[in-house]
Structure 1
Amino acid sequence: MLHSYLFPISYAFFTFPIAAAFFTVPFLIVQYRRHGYIHKYRALILYLLLLYLMNAVYLILLPLPSSFHNSPPKANSYFQWIPFNFLSDIARETAVRANEPSTYWHLLKERAFLQVAFNVALTVPFGLFLRYYFRANWVRCLAFSFALSLFFEVTQVTGIYGIYDYPYRLFDVDDLITNTLGGLIGYLAAEWLASHLPRIDKLDESVDLSAKRVTYTRRALAAAIDWLILLPAGAILAILRIPFPYAYTLLIAVYFMAIPYSTNGLTPGKWVVRIRLRGRDERIRAGELFVRYGLLYLIVAGLNLAYPAVAVRQFPPVLLIPYAVGLFAMDATFAVHLVRCVFNRKRRLFYEARSGTGHVIT
């Protein structure tokens, strides 16, 4: 029986890095929007919650049937509606004798008892997270623990919502009872746990956002959001057959110069992650934006994009080769410069130093 639990747990740990990678972007956006920065302890708790939920789901669903066209369960019904039916199962299978305390330890080896203990233990961490991190009261903990258990049972009895022809596990009302009990036990245990850990609602009390550095991760996320917005506009200009140099220059001028000038340093991407550009004065200047984004997007990025879009199609080989060599040299130099800036906080990117601009948290 222990092996049947170890397999889903090991599979959850194996696939956790993949899930964490997909979880990271929405996690960063929510944390930046809500708190203005990333607190390492808060991040640890949320990634542990993700790992727990993966373990819980895998324990409930795995192992899967070998085929989508599985056979129906041998039981006469897909549902077990009798509350506390597990007590009769334990009484029927147990070797324990009430008047012989020396036999009590046999419970730890019996399937019916271990199944109940597992169902209780499964949601204890859920109750812990609900009270400690989300500050839920006992009524919400009861409701959410029951809802989580109901989700598990419905998922099983529907064959993962129709993926399989037949349910491969039964809907058991005792599972609802024991899972909900586990959530409440976790809720009670969280009071002791909270006395030994930092309070989540106090993490931001002494944080000065104005003194915090805007990380390259945050800036890269803002840039990614901005370019996701720009891509459809670029596609429309391409459909209209506007030549690449004109279309690209127009997009950069409007999105990265005109919009930040009118919003005092904000683009949609920067707004999402709560940062903005600031120049030498509190109000960003048009010249500062022109120098910053002219160097970054019109020269560095523009020359790279123009190579496949323009040069390969129109330049003769005698010009194409030195273009490619010069482009490689420029990119290599910029890459080294970027790495040095990432690992040395005192260094500034060249287009920031030239334009006198930088990021601040809003």
Structure 2
Amino acid sequence: MLESYLFPIRYALLTFPLAALLFTLPFLIVQYRKYGYVNGFRGFAMYALLLYMITAYYLVILPLPDTVHTCTGPGKSYIQPVPLQFVNDFLRETRVRFDQPSTYLLLIQERAVLQVVFNVLLLVPLGLFLQYYFRRSGWQTVSAALVLSLFFETTQLTGLYGIYDCPYRIFDVDDLLLNTLGGWIGYGMGRLFASRLPDIGQLDRNVDLSSRRVGYIRRFVAFQIDWVVLLPFAAFLLVVGRPLYMLAFVLIYFIGVPYATNGYTFGKYIVRIRLKGQHEHIRLQELLMRYGLLYAAIGGLHVLTALAAKQAVPDDMAVFLALFTLGIDILLGFHLLRRLYRRDKGLFYEAISRTKHIIV
């Protein structure tokens, strides 16, 4: 029976890297926006919670049946509505003799006992997380455990939401009771161990955001958000054959908007950073120098190379442009790698324009 629990856990560990990758961007956005930086312990806790939730879900639904046709005939009940039915199951199946202590070790092999233990333990981590990390009260934690358990049981009762003809596991009221009990136990454990764990409320007490440097990951997140906004319009202008209009649109966004807002774009605003020049208000010439080099020179070179490959231009000219662009990209790659390992992480166009990002 132990193998039936290890099988979903193995699948959870295999799935976790992909789930973590999808989780990372929204996690970073929330952390930057809410706290102004990413705390390592907070990150560890949230990824641990993600792994736990994946594991708990897989334990409920796996292993899956070999066929979607799971109906076994008329008259079968898929609901167990009797509270504490597990007690009767245990008394009916057990090999333990209460007048013979030597048989007590058989308890760890009893199906009914293992199911009770599993159903209690399933939501213990949830209760601990809710109490310790999210600072939920006892009734809120118990309510959340009950709702999550009801979600699990409904998942089983609906045959994984209609994928299977009939439920392949029963809706058991005892599972609701035992899962909820596990959430309550986890809440108590959170209170018990709170004094031995970092105080979540004090993680940011001594953090000086003004002394922190804006890293490449944060800048890349802002860049992604900005291009989510820009891409539909830029792609449309490029498809209809207006590459110069597209370039102008991009420059207006990255130069005009920061000039009007003193260093912000939508992406920078979301992750709480802004551009700063040599004066209180960033100047137009600083933005023109910064983004002219980045988008007009480098970006324009890539657009020109792509157009040359599609248009009727001499092959040797297209090859020259492609090789020249590749050489520029290699130089930029080496430049970026060098800056990754230096205290001053400013890139060439920042040094020339004398602009930088600051946390706000």
Verify same fold: TM over 0.5: yes
**What is the one-letter code of the residue matched to 1:285?**
R
Partner of 1:293: 291
What is the CA–CA distance in structure 1 between the aligned matches of 2:256 and 2:73, rounded to whole Å?
A: 65
Query: Could you tell me how far 1:56 is from its partner in structure 2?
Result: 0.3
> Once the two structures are superposed, what CA deviation does each residue of 1:15-74 show, in whole Å capped at 9, x if it has no partner?
110110001011111111111100000000000000001110000000001122233379
Select between 294-303 and 350-359 the one with higher mean Cα deviation. 294-303
**Aligned pairs for 1:112-131 within 5 A:** 112-131=112-131
C-alpha distance 75-121 of structure 1, shift in aligned 2 (>3 A): farther
1:243 aligns with 2:236: no
Equivalent position SS for 2:206 = coil
- Letter aligned with residue 81 of structure 2: W
CA distance in 2, matches of 1:166, 1:243: 56
Contact 1:73–1:169 (8 Å) recurs in 2: no
Report the residue type matching 1:35 in the other structure.
Y
Match of 1:322 in 2: 320
CA RMSD of aligned residues (A): 1.5
1:354 — aligned with what? 352
| 8 Å Cα contact 2:120-2:179 kept in structure 1 | yes
User: Aligned residue for 1:309?
Assistant: 307
Pairwise CA distance, 1:196: 1.2
The 3-state SS of whatever aligns with 2:213 is coil
Letter in 2 for 1:276: R
Which residue identity lines up with residue 53 of structure 2 in the other structure?
L
Unmatched 5+ stretches in structure 2: none
Query: Whole-Å Cα distance in 1 between the matches of residues 216 and 317 of structure 2?
Result: 36
Matched AA of 2:340:
V
Cα shift readout 1:200-258 (whole Å, capped 9, x = no counterpart): 1110011011111111001011111111111111133246x4531x2133112210000
**Counterparts in 2 of 1:214 and 1:72: CA distance versus 1, 3 Å:** farther
Normalized against structure 2, the TM-score is what? 0.96
SS of the residue corresponding to residue 126 of structure 2 reads helix
5 Å-filtered alignment, 1:107-146, equals: 107-146=107-146
Compared with structure 1, are the counterparts of its residues 242 and 312 closer, same or farther at alpha carbon in structure 2 (3 Å cutoff)? Answer: closer
Q: CA deviation at 1:191?
A: 1.6
Q: Is contact 2:159-2:168 (8 Å) kept?
A: yes
The residue identity in structure 1 corresponding to 2:266 is P
Relative to structure 1, is the Cα distance of residues 180 and 73 closer, same or farther in structure 2, using a 3 angstrom cutoff?
A: farther
Match in the other structure for 1:167: 167
> In structure 2, how many angstroms separate the alpha carbons of the residues matched to 1:75 and 1:276?
66
Distance 1:235 1:347 in 2: 31
Amino acid of the structure 1 residue aligned with 2:210: S
Please name the residue that 1:274 is paired with. 272
Task: Give matches, 1:214-229, under 5 Å.
Answer: 214-229=214-229
**CA distance 1:75–1:126, change in 2 (3 Å):** farther
Asked if structure 1 preserves the Cα contact closer than 8 Å seen for 2:234 and 2:250, the reply is: no
1:258 to 256, 259, 268: 256
Query: How far did residue 310 of structure 1 move?
Result: 4.2
Q: Per the alignment, in what secondary structure is the counterpart of residue 205 of structure 2?
A: coil
**Alpha-carbon separation, structure 2, partners of 1:87 and 1:270:** 59
**Paired residue secondary structure (1:55):** helix
Paired residue secondary structure (2:311): helix
Farther-moved stretch of structure 1 (329-338 vs 89-98): 89-98
Give the whole-Å Cα distance in 2 for the aligned partners of 1:313 and 1:242: 12
After superposition, the C-alpha distances for 1:177-209 in whole angstroms (9 at most, x for unaligned) are 000000000100112221111011110011011
Letter in 2 for 1:288: E
Deviation at 1:137, TM superposition (A): 0.5
Specify the code of the residue in structure 1 equivalent to 2:252: V
Give how far 1:348 is off. 2.0
Deviation at 1:347, TM superposition (A): 4.2
Which stretch shifts more, 96-105 or 111-120? 96-105
- Any idea what the Cα deviations from partners look like across 1:283-335, whole Å, max 9, x if unmatched? 11100000000001111122112211245414322322322222111111011
More divergent stretch after superposition (149-158 vs 337-346) = 337-346
**How far is 1:131 from its partner?**
0.4
Task: Provide the rounded CA distance (Å) in 2 between the counterparts of 1:221 and 1:344.
Answer: 21
SS at match of 2:76: coil
Q: Distance in 2 between matches of 1:120 and 1:74?
A: 32
Question: Do the aligned partners of 1:73 and 1:168 also contact (CA within 8 Å) in 2?
Answer: no
For structure 1, which segment, 316-325 or 286-295, has the greater mean C-alpha deviation from structure 2 after superposition? 316-325
Alpha-carbon contact 1:154-1:171 (below 8 Å) kept:
yes
Question: In the alignment, is the contact (CA less than 8 A) between 1:72 and 1:167 conserved in 2?
Answer: no
Would you say 1:213 and 2:213 are equivalent positions? yes
In the TM superposition, residue 75 of structure 1 has moved relative to its aligned partner by 7.8
Q: Measure the CA separation in 1 of the matches of 2:15 and 2:49.
A: 15
* Alignment length (residue pairs): 360
Structure 2 distance, partners of 1:59, 1:318, is 61
- Whole-Å separation in 2 of the counterparts to 1:73 and 1:20: 41
> 2: distance between equivalents of 1:193 and 1:310?
65
Question: 1:52: which partner in 2?
Answer: 52
